[in-house]
Amino acid sequence: MKIVIDTHTHSIASGHAYSTIDEIARSAKKKRLKGFVITEHGPALQGFPHVYYFGNLRILPKTLYNVRVFSGVELNIMDMHGGVDLSSKYLRNLDFVMAGFHEACFPPQNVKENTSAMIAAIANPLVDGISHPGNPVYPVDIEEVVKAAVHYGKALEINNSSFVVRRGSEENCRNVARFAREYGAMLSCGSDAHYCDDVGNFARALGVITEIGVHHEQIVNSSFEQFMEFSEKRKMERLSVG
């Protein structure tokens, strides 16, 4: 199986990442990717981009160095009710909208509350997928989360950086993949690169996906067409929110 689009990258605009979009594109080209999604953090974390940044993503060229540039975001899950830190005005035209737990915006709770908050974010029609759901700092009932992802047609991420920066993620990611295979949930595979050389690094995440035997049709970014289809479908739902 191949991953052809990196669905999770951060540029210098994220405040704690170190490469420009141009450098990310050149690295994606070198890694022979067909595209990448720019997913800066949402504005609720200090030092991260102002809302205008997301509204203006549309001025970026559609391709750089023959690699497709997709617009996205990694929102912050803000509360127990599916609240995120950008309104539909800024999200409606993006290609891929992830939401995830980050400590400054949603301090870790117990399993029951983390699970409810994650499922509420999955149910939010503005959200397309959940970033690093295997983060052990936020233990969740993975089977319930996977069932919700199937119900709402959302993607759960197997995040390659988690194996390095979120220690203890491996077993959780394996369980995400295992339940995803069992229930037929969609997964995304992202590098979560904060430096251009890491763009397209999926080895460990892909290792888990292949070890568990998740079908390639369940991985939204395992083909360009599959990602386009998922993105278009999600965009339609986001636009219908008004």
Pick the closer one to Zn ion by CB: 19 or 131.
131
Choose one: 44-52, 88-96, 103-111, 192-200; the region binding Zn ion (CB under 5 A). Answer: 192-200
Give the nearest residue (CB) to Zn ion.
192
Q: Does 192 bind Zn ion (CB under 5 A)?
A: yes
**Residue 129 or residue 182: which is nearer to Zn ion going by CB?**
129
CA 13 from centre of chain: 17
Round to whole Å and give the CA distance between 212 and 178: 6
Among residues 130, 132, 40, the alpha carbon closest in space to that of 86 is found at: 40
Question: Would you say 82 or 100 has its CB closer to Zn ion?
Answer: 100
Question: 84 CB contacts (<8 Å, ≥6 apart)?
Answer: 42, 75, 76, 77, 78, 99, 121, 124, 126, 127
Judged by CB, which is closer to Zn ion: 73, or 185? 73
Contacting Zn ion within 56-75 (CB under 5 A)? 74
**What's the distance, CA 241 to chain centroid?**
20
Select 164 or 241, whichever has its Cβ closest to Zn ion.
Answer: 164
Contact window for Zn ion (CB under 5 A) among 52-60, 123-131, 169-177, 203-211: 123-131
- Quickly count: other Cβ atoms within 10 Å of residue 197's Cβ: 14
List the alpha helices (DSSP H) in the chain.
21-30, 51-55, 88-91, 111-123, 142-152, 162-165, 169-183, 203-212, 224-240
For residues 76 to 105, the per-residue mask of contacts with Zn ion, x marking binding by CB under 5 A and - elsewhere, is ------------------------x-----
Chain residues 127-146 in contact with Zn ion, contact rule CB under 5 A = 131
Q: How many residues bind Zn ion (CB under 5 A)?
A: 4
Residues in contact with Zn ion, shown as a per-residue x/- string from 209 to 228 under the rule CB under 5 A: --------------------
Q: Which residue reads 């420009």 in tokens? A: 20
Nearer to Zn ion (CB atom), residue 20 or residue 210: 20
- Minimum CB distance to Zn ion, residue 242 (Å): 28
Residue 195 Cα distances to 10, 18, 92, 209, 234, angstroms: 8, 5, 27, 24, 28
Which residues of this protein are in contact with Zn ion, per CB under 5 A? 74, 100, 131, 192
